[in-house]
Structure 1
Amino acid sequence: MPRIFRPVLLAPGLSPASVLLLCLCLSLSTGTARAATPALPFRVGPPAAWVKPLPIPADSGPASAGEEETSVSRLLVEEQVRVSGHSQEHYLHSARKVLSPQGIDSVTDIQLSFDPTYQKLTVHGIWRIRDGRREDLFQPAEARVIQQEPELQNRLYNGALSVVPFLRDVRVGDTVEVAYTLEGANPVFGGRFSDFVVVGKPFPVGHFAYRLLWPEGRSLYVRDFAAPGLTRSEALLGNEREIILERRHVPAVHSEDNVPGWQPVYPWLQLSEYKDWNDVARWASALFQVPARSKALEQEIRRLSKEPTPEARFVAALRFVQDEVRYLGIEMGPNSHQPHPPDEVLQRRFGDCKDKSLLLVTLLKGLGIDAQPALVNTGLTQLLDGWRPTARAFDHAIVHATVGGRELWVDPTATLERGGLDSYEPPPYGRALIVAPGTTELSVIPAPTLKEPSVFVDETYVATDRDGPATLDVVTTRTGESANAMRRMLAGTSVSELSRFYFNYYAKKDAKITVASPMTVDDDTVKNVLVVHEHYRIEDFWSSDARRDFSAHTFHAYLKEPGYSRRAFPLEVEHPVFARHRITLKSGEPLHDGADHDVVDGPAFHFEADTRADGKTLVLDYRYQSLADAVPPERIAEYVKAVRATEDNRGYYVQLGSRERRLRTSPPPSGEAGAILLGVIATCVVLWFVIAQGGPVELWRKGRAWGRRRAFARKFDASHQGDSAWSAIPITGPQELLSTLGRLRCACGATSDAPRESLRHEAVVLGERHLTLVQWQCPTCARARRAYFEDKGSRAA
C-alpha cells in the first residue's frame, strides 16, 4: 500500500529549515522512546505444526468415590515432546476449573519458568472459558518477568526466569486454560534425552496425556514405576515414532507423613536414552576433567605436601576445601552439571558441590592420592538400583578416595568436620556413581554405624532442701557427626543465643528457673568430641505436695507415633541414631531403694530404661538406638505398639514422704459369716499373688515404680514436635507443610485447617539450618498458634 503524505501547515514566521529541524527532533524522540521499550524475553504465538492439542473434557468427574474436589477441578494435564537431533520442544497444556472462591487464587497463580541461557519460551495463550465462550486473557505487556531464584536460601543461583501473568476477572465456575512451549535443551547433556513422566498427582485429574515424537532408529529405554491404568500406543509418522501415554479419571494419590525419600509415592515412568551406567560415567568424565595445574594450585599443593603422612595430607586438603572454600553455586546453563575450573574456584574461594569436589580431587591427585568425583542422590539412595541409567539421576557430588589402602567417601560441602580418619563416618547417600571412564555400575556407600551413643544428655538435680532452691547441671556430650552438626550450628549461632533457647526449654516446666552460670562449650577437635555445659537454679523445685516429675525429653523426636498409622507407604525413621539420657536426683531426704531394667524392641529401634534408687540418690538412665531407616507398612501397628510401650518408661515422678506420721485405727469388721468367709478367701488369693511376685516389699516397689512411670510418661510426651526450632517438623516441600498444618492439634482439640490468608511465614536461620516459622490463629478457638518446619528436600548439585 502506498504511503499517503499529508501537507504540513507552516505557522506564521516559521521557516522550512525550522520545520525540518522540528521534524528531526520529533523523529529522534520517537525513536528513543521506542528503543527504551524493553524487548520481552518470550514470544507469543500459536503452537508448532507438530503439536496436536487435546480438547478439554466437559467434566472430569470424580476418579472414585470420596475424591470429589472442593476448590479446583483439574480437567486436563497434557505434555507433548518432540526430540530431533540435539533439539527438544516441550508443549504443555492444562485446564483447571474454579469450584469455590478459594480456588481462584490457585488457578490464577501461574508462573511460566524457563532458563534463558538455552531455552526459548513461546506463550500460546491463557484462556478463560465461561458459559461456553473462550477468551484469551494473556496480556504480554502486563505480564512481569521475574528472576525468582527458588534455591537462593541454599546459596544456589541458576538464572531461571518466570513469566507471571496477572489475570483479570476470574470467577467461580470459570475454566482457565494455559498453553505454552519450551524450546531448547541444556547443552551439558550433549543432546542426550531423558525424562520423567509423573502419572499420579496429589489430586484427581480428568484426562492425563503424554505424547513423544522420537526419531526412528534412535534407542529409547522406558521403565514403568507402578503406573496402573495407563494406556500406551505407538505409531510411525514418517521418520518419527509417536508414543502416547494416556489415562482418564486419574485418581488422587494421597501421601503420608515421613515417607522415605527412596520410596516412590506417585506412579511414574522413566524415559532414558542412556544404555547403561558406563554411558553416564563417560558423559560425566568429560565434564570433570582434572586440568593442568596453575601456579595457584601448585602453591597450594606444595603447602599441603608439608604434612608428614598421606593421611595427614588428605585431611588437610579436605579441611581446606570444606572450610576455606565457601558453598555458593552459580549454576547457569551448562554449569547446572559441569563444574567450574578448579583454578577459578580456588581464586574466588567459593563453589558448589561440583566445584568443590573437582577442586579436592585436583589437590589430592597433586599430592599423589588416588581420588575421583562421585555423583549421588541425597534422597533416593537405594531406589537408584531400579532406575534406568540417566544423567539426571543425581543431585549432589562428593569424592571417593583411597588413602593408605582405605576406601573413603567424603563430602567437600560438609564444613567443620573434625577428628581423624579412624572415626570418619561416610555420608548417608547409599549409592554413588564414580566419575571415571571405566565405571560400569553404581557403588554402594557403606551405611554409617554407631557403636556408642553419639549424644549423651546428663542432667543432675541437687535438691537437698524441699523448701529451698535446687540446682540443675546439664552436660551434653556429642561425638562424630552429631558433634559436627553442633559445631556448624555454633558457627552461625552464638553461645548466648543457644543458651537462651535451652534456657527457655527448661523454663516451660519451671517458671522460676534462672541461669546460675553462663553456658560453656568444650570442643576437642582431635577426638571430635563437643561438650556443652549448662547450669541453672530452680526455685519451687518441689510441688505443693512434694512431688517432682522427670522425663527423658531427648527421645521425643525419635519416639513418636506417625500421623498416619494405616499406611500404604513405609514410615521413615531417623537413622543411624544412638542417644543416651541420664537423670540423677540427689535429694536431702531418703528415697525408696530399688532397681528396674526395662527393654522395648520395636521394628526399627531398641530402647532401654534403668531405674536405680539408693539412699538419697535416684538415677534414671535411658538409651535409644535406631535399627533401620524405615518401618514397612505391614509392621506399623507393631511399631506404634512399641512406641507406646516406651511411654511407660520415659516418665517418672518422685514423692517425698510426709513430715508427720499419724497412727490410724479402724473399727473391727462386722458382717455375716458368709461375708467373712469371702473376705478370708480374697485375703488368701491376695497373699498368694503377693508371694508369687516376690513378697510384699517387692510387689510394693514394682507397683510404685510402674505408677510413677505411667502417671507422667504421657504427660511429658504431650509436647508437640514443631513447638521450637530444635524440634522443627521435617517436610519435603510446601505441599507437605500445608497438609501437616491441617493435622496439628490445638489445645482446644481442633485440627481444622486454618485459612491460607491467615498464615504468616517467617524464615529462621540457625547456623546451616534453614527453617520456616508459620504463625496462624486456630479457626475454632482463635488461639494464636505457631510451628517450626525444616525442609528436608533434596539438595541440588
Structure 2
Amino acid sequence: MRRTFRPALLTPGLLPAFILLCVSLGAGSARAAPSALPFHVGPPAAWVKPLPIPADPGPMPAGEEETSVLRLLNEEQVRVSGHSRVQYRHSARKVLSPQGIDRVTDIQIHFDPSYETLTVHGIWRIRDGRREDVFQPAGARVIQQESELQNRLYNGTLSVVPFLRDVRVGDTVEVAYSLEGANPVFGGRFSDVVAVGQPYPVVHFAYRLLWPEGRPLFIREFAEPGVKHSESVTNGEREVVLERRDVPAVRSEDKVPSWQHVYPWVQLSEYKDWNEVARWASTLFQVPANSKALEQEMARLAKEPTPEARFFAALRFVQDEVRYLGIEMGPNSHQPHPPDEVLERRFGDCKDKSLLLVTLLKGLGIEAQPVLVDTETRQALDEWLPTAIAFDHAIVHATVAGRELWVDPTATLERGGLDSYEPPPYARALIVAPDTKALTVIPSPALAEPSVFVDETYVAQDRDAPATLEVVTTRTGESANSMRRMLAGVSVAELSRYYVNYYAKTDAKLAVVKPMTVDDDPVKNVLVLREHYRIEGFWSSKGERDFSAHSLHQYLSEPGFSRRAFPLEVEHPVFARHRITFQSDEPLNITSDHELVEGPAFHFESDTRADGKTLVLDYRYRSVADSVPPERIAEHLKAVHDAEEQGGYGLRLRGGSARLQRSAPPSTKGGLALLGVIAGCAFLWFIISQGTPAELWRKGRAWGRRRAFARKFDGDSQGDSAGAAIPVASAHELLATISRLRCACGTSSECEWEALRHEAVILGERHLTLVQWQCPACARARRAYFEDKGTTRAA
C-alpha cells in the first residue's frame, strides 16, 4: 500500500541501479515528433503566476554554506476544481562546483499515466544573464521506472528523463512542468502536505493553492515561525499562499524517532473527521460474495475443531501461502484486489492479504475488520488532520474467543497461541468500518520475560587443559518468529558455520564437539539453538580470561550526536538476558554482587554469584521507553557507560585457584575497523537481533514523517546513497542500525543468511561499506551504505 503524496519539484540523484523497464519510443525515437510522446509540451495554464528567479544572494551565513548546488527557487501552485486537480511546479538551481553539475542535470519528472497528464513547459539554462530553453522533447526518454521494484511493488509510474547538454559551473537550470489529474481512488477528495523546511537552504520557497470558495478545507501548521501564510478570495476562489525567503537548512540528527517531526510542514485536508476517512476506506475494502474457490477454502478451514484453531489456520494460510507482491496501478494504490483473485493467483500486497483474511474469517464466523496503520508515524497521528493519505500499511483486527487481536497478514512463520500473540508496534489504527469515529490505540507489546536468552556455560580445568563451551539460545515471541524465518532459508549447518566463526574470533582454537541443534515449539512459539564447542588455549599466557555479555552490546551504543535538538530513538520493547556460567575444578575466591543501572530509556542489571567451584554472571537489559528527550541525553549516556562497565568481568589464575576481578567489557568503540569486521561479525546480527519492524519509506510514499520529508527533496535519506552514508564506529553499531531500518511491509529487517552481502567502497579518503540483505517476510531487497566514523572525522 502506498501513500499518494505529491511528488517532489524535482527528484534528482543517481539514476537507480536496479532494473529499469524502458518504454520504447520506437525505432529512431530521438527523431520522433513531439506528438508521439506520452507527454505534452506547452505553456502553463492562464491561472498560473510563475515567480521570478531570485538573484544570487551571495555569501551565505556561517553554517548555511552550499558547496555544490544553490537552490534559488522551489515553487508549487495547485488548483482544485470539482474532482480535477492541476499542479504546477517550478524550480531553479545554480551549479556551484563540478559535483553540482551531476545533481542539477539529473532530472526525472514522474507521473502516473493512468490518471495524470504531464505538460512540460520547459527546461532553461541561464548563463551570463541569457536564458535559453534546452529541453529537447524528442531526445528525452520515458522510462517505466518501478521505484519500488525492490519492495516487490509495481505501480506503473513513468519518468521523463531529459538529457541536458553543455551545463557548466555557474549556470542556473530552471525547470517547469504541470500535472493534471488525481487518483480516482479518492473520489475527488483533496489532501496535501507542504514541506516549508528542507534539508538544504532555499532562497525563495512558495506554495499557492486555488480552492473553490465555500468548499471546506482544513489547514494545520507543523511549522516554525517565519512562514508567511496569507489568504484571499477572488472570483469565487480562495487563494492560500505559504511563502518563505532565505529558508535555512534543517539539520537532522542520527537515531531520531520516526514519529518525531523534524522538517516543518503544513497539512491540508478536505476530511472533517476520521469517520469520513473510515467510510471512504469501507467502500474500498468490501467483503464480496463468496466465490467457489473461497467457499472451498472456508470449508477446508472450518474442519478445525475450535474458533482459535480456525483463526490461526486462516491466518497462517494467508501469511505463509500467499506471497507478498503488489500490483498498485492507479486506484489499486489503495484499493485491494478482489479476494478470489488474490486467492487464485496466490500473491498480493498488504491490503490484498488483509481483505482476503477478513473475508475468510467472516466466512468462518469470526469477527474481523481491515485496519489502516502508519508503521512509522504511529502515535504522532494524533496530531494530524484526518486524511486518507496518512497510512502506509494494512493489517487486521479480529476478536477470537473474546480476545482482541491485531495481526499482520504480511508477516510469515508466526507461531504461538492467543495468550502469547503480541500486537504489532504501530500504536494507532483506523479500523475500516462505517461506524469508526476515531483512531484506535493498539496496545503496546509487553515483554514479561526475556525474548532472547543467551546462556553460555564454560567448563575449564587447569591452565593447560582444554575447556568446553555450551551455548543455549532461547527465543520467544517475535524473536522466535524472526529466527524461524531465517532458518526457512538457510540450513542449520550453514548457520552453525557462521556462529563458529563468531566465537573463533575470541578463541582461535575453538572446535565443534556436537552439531548445532534446533528445537522449535510452534505451539508455545519457543525456539532453542544449542551449540557445543571445545576450546584449546582457554587461558591467556598470563592465566587470564575475560567474559562479556556480548549479545547485549547492540543496545548500549551511543548516538553520533550527543548535543541534540531532537529525541534519541531507542529500540523498544526489548527484554534480553545473557548468562555466563563458569565451572572450575578449584574453589573460586569470589564475592557475590548485584548492580543496577537505571537510565531514562533502559534498566541494566548484573548479578555475580559464586558457589564453590561455580561462578554465575547474569546480565539483563530491559528497555523502558522508545526514546530519550534531548534534555536527558547526558543522563542516558552516563547510564550507557555505567552499563558497559558492569557488562564485563575477568578471571585470573592464582596458583591452583582463581580470583575474580572486574574489567571493562571488550570495547565497542574505536580500534575496530569497520571494513575489516563486517564479514566476520555479520552473523552476530542473527544471534542478537530482535524482530522489531524497521525500514525507510521509498520516494513519494511518506511525506508525513521525517525520513520521507528528507527523501522528498534533493538529498538522499541516510544510507540510501554513498553521499548519505550512515556513520558508525563499530560493527556492533552497524548491526544495531540495520535492526532499526524498517521494511516497507512493516516487519522486521531480519534477513536470510545467504542474501546478506557487503562490498567495500573507497571514495577518496572515505571508507564505505555497502550492505545488502533481504526482508524474510516479503523478500524485498534491502541495501544501505555505512561509513567508518574514523574516516568521517579524518575527512
The interval holding the TM-score normalised by the smaller chain is 0.7 to 0.9
Q: In structure 2, do the counterparts of structure 1 residues 767 and 744 end up closer, same or farther at CA, with 3 Å as the change threshold? A: closer
* Mapped partners of 1:474, 1:369: distance in 2: 43
Q: Is the 8 A contact 2:274 2:437 kept in 1?
A: yes
1:372 maps onto 2:369 in alignment: yes
1:156 positional shift: 1.1
For 1:651, the equivalent position in structure 2 comes to 648
1:517 maps onto 2:514 in alignment: yes
Q: Is the 8 A contact 1:466 1:588 kept in 2?
A: no
CA distances 1:54-74 after superposition (whole Å, capped 9, x unpaired):
111111456643211111111
Gaps of 5+ in 2: 1-25, 697-706, 708-715, 732-748, 781-795
1:766 maps onto 2:751 in alignment: yes
For 2:17, the equivalent position in structure 1 comes to none
1:383 maps onto 2:368 in alignment: no
Secondary structure of 1:392's partner? Answer: coil
Residue pairs, 1:676-755, within 5 angstroms: 705=661, 708-710=662-664, 712-714=665-667, 723=678, 724-725=681-682, 732=696, 734-737=716-719, 741=725, 743-745=727-729
* Mapped partners of 2:530, 2:670: distance in 1: 25
Q: In structure 2, do the counterparts of structure 1 residues 170 and 34 end up closer, same or farther at CA, with 3 Å as the change threshold? A: closer
1:786 maps onto 2:740 in alignment: no
Q: Quick one: which amino acid aligns to residue 417 of structure 2? A: G
Q: Is the 8 A contact 2:68 2:96 kept in 1?
A: yes
Match of 1:502 among 496, 499, 502: 499
1:430 positional shift: 0.5
For 1:363, the equivalent position in structure 2 comes to 360
CA distances 1:136-186 after superposition (whole Å, capped 9, x unpaired):
222222222222222222211111111122222222111111111111100
1:559 positional shift: 1.1
Which is worse superposed, 587-596 or 481-490?
587-596
1:407 positional shift: 1.4
Secondary structure of 2:556's partner? Answer: coil
Q: In structure 2, do the counterparts of structure 1 residues 618 and 41 end up closer, same or farther at CA, with 3 Å as the change threshold? A: same
Match of 2:112 among 106, 112, 115: 115
* Mapped partners of 2:54, 2:641: distance in 1: 50
1:536 maps onto 2:533 in alignment: yes
1:775 maps onto 2:760 in alignment: yes
Match of 2:153 among 156, 165, 170: 156
Q: Quick one: which amino acid aligns to residue 766 of structure 1? A: C
For 1:481, the equivalent position in structure 2 comes to 478
Q: In structure 2, do the counterparts of structure 1 residues 535 and 139 end up closer, same or farther at CA, with 3 Å as the change threshold? A: farther
Q: Quick one: which amino acid aligns to residue 777 of structure 1? A: I
Match of 2:625 among 624, 628, 647: 628
Match of 1:599 among 570, 590, 596: 596
1:602 positional shift: 0.5
For 1:258, the equivalent position in structure 2 comes to 255
Residue pairs, 1:273-292, within 5 angstroms: 273-292=270-289
For 2:297, the equivalent position in structure 1 comes to 300
1:490 positional shift: 1.7
For 2:790, the equivalent position in structure 1 comes to none
Q: Is the 8 A contact 1:725 1:788 kept in 2?
A: no
Q: In structure 2, do the counterparts of structure 1 residues 309 and 745 end up closer, same or farther at CA, with 3 Å as the change threshold? A: closer
Secondary structure of 1:628's partner? Answer: coil
* Mapped partners of 1:538, 1:769: distance in 2: 28
Secondary structure of 1:346's partner? Answer: helix
Q: Quick one: which amino acid aligns to residue 94 of structure 1? A: S
Q: In structure 2, do the counterparts of structure 1 residues 230 and 458 end up closer, same or farther at CA, with 3 Å as the change threshold? A: same
1:36 positional shift: 11
Secondary structure of 2:718's partner? Answer: helix
* Mapped partners of 2:656, 2:519: distance in 1: 43
1:416 maps onto 2:413 in alignment: yes
1:591 positional shift: 3.0
* Mapped partners of 1:416, 1:228: distance in 2: 49
* Mapped partners of 1:646, 1:44: distance in 2: 64
Give the count of matched residue pairs.
703
Secondary structure of 1:492's partner? Answer: coil
Q: In structure 2, do the counterparts of structure 1 residues 452 and 133 end up closer, same or farther at CA, with 3 Å as the change threshold? A: same
Q: In structure 2, do the counterparts of structure 1 residues 315 and 718 end up closer, same or farther at CA, with 3 Å as the change threshold? A: farther
Which is worse superposed, 174-183 or 530-539?
530-539
1:492 positional shift: 2.5
* Mapped partners of 1:254, 1:478: distance in 2: 39
For 2:639, the equivalent position in structure 1 comes to 642
For 1:577, the equivalent position in structure 2 comes to 574
1:476 positional shift: 0.8
Secondary structure of 1:557's partner? Answer: helix
1:658 positional shift: 4.3
CA distances 1:380-435 after superposition (whole Å, capped 9, x unpaired):
11100010000000111111111222211111111111010111101111001111
Q: Quick one: which amino acid aligns to residue 786 of structure 1? A: T
Secondary structure of 1:433's partner? Answer: strand
Q: Is the 8 A contact 1:64 1:251 kept in 2?
A: no
* Mapped partners of 2:222, 2:228: distance in 1: 14
Q: TM-score, normalised by structure 1?
A: 0.83
Q: Is the 8 A contact 1:515 1:536 kept in 2?
A: yes
Q: Is the 8 A contact 2:490 2:754 kept in 1?
A: no
For 1:690, the equivalent position in structure 2 comes to none
* Mapped partners of 1:244, 1:119: distance in 2: 24
Which is worse superposed, 727-736 or 260-269?
727-736
Q: In structure 2, do the counterparts of structure 1 residues 267 and 770 end up closer, same or farther at CA, with 3 Å as the change threshold? A: farther
Match of 2:76 among 71, 74, 79: 79
1:107 positional shift: 1.4
Match of 1:70 among 53, 67, 82: 67
Which structure is richer in relative contact order (CA contacts within 8 A, separation 6 or more)?
2
Q: In structure 2, do the counterparts of structure 1 residues 166 and 770 end up closer, same or farther at CA, with 3 Å as the change threshold? A: farther
* Mapped partners of 1:32, 1:107: distance in 2: 29
1:193 maps onto 2:198 in alignment: no
* Mapped partners of 2:215, 2:413: distance in 1: 48
1:246 maps onto 2:243 in alignment: yes
Q: Is the 8 A contact 1:593 1:615 kept in 2?
A: no
1:330 maps onto 2:315 in alignment: no
* Mapped partners of 1:158, 1:202: distance in 2: 28
1:745 positional shift: 4.8
CA distances 1:718-750 after superposition (whole Å, capped 9, x unpaired):
768994445779773642125774734599xxx
Q: In structure 2, do the counterparts of structure 1 residues 428 and 768 end up closer, same or farther at CA, with 3 Å as the change threshold? A: farther
1:37 positional shift: 5.7
Q: Is the 8 A contact 2:673 2:730 kept in 1?
A: no
For 2:232, the equivalent position in structure 1 comes to 235
Computed over aligned residues only, the root mean square deviation of the Cα atoms, in angstroms, reads: 2.9
Percent identity between matched residues is 71
1:301 positional shift: 1.1
Secondary structure of 1:575's partner? Answer: coil
CA distances 1:533-591 after superposition (whole Å, capped 9, x unpaired):
22233332221111112111111111111111111111111111100001122234443
Q: Is the 8 A contact 2:72 2:91 kept in 1?
A: yes
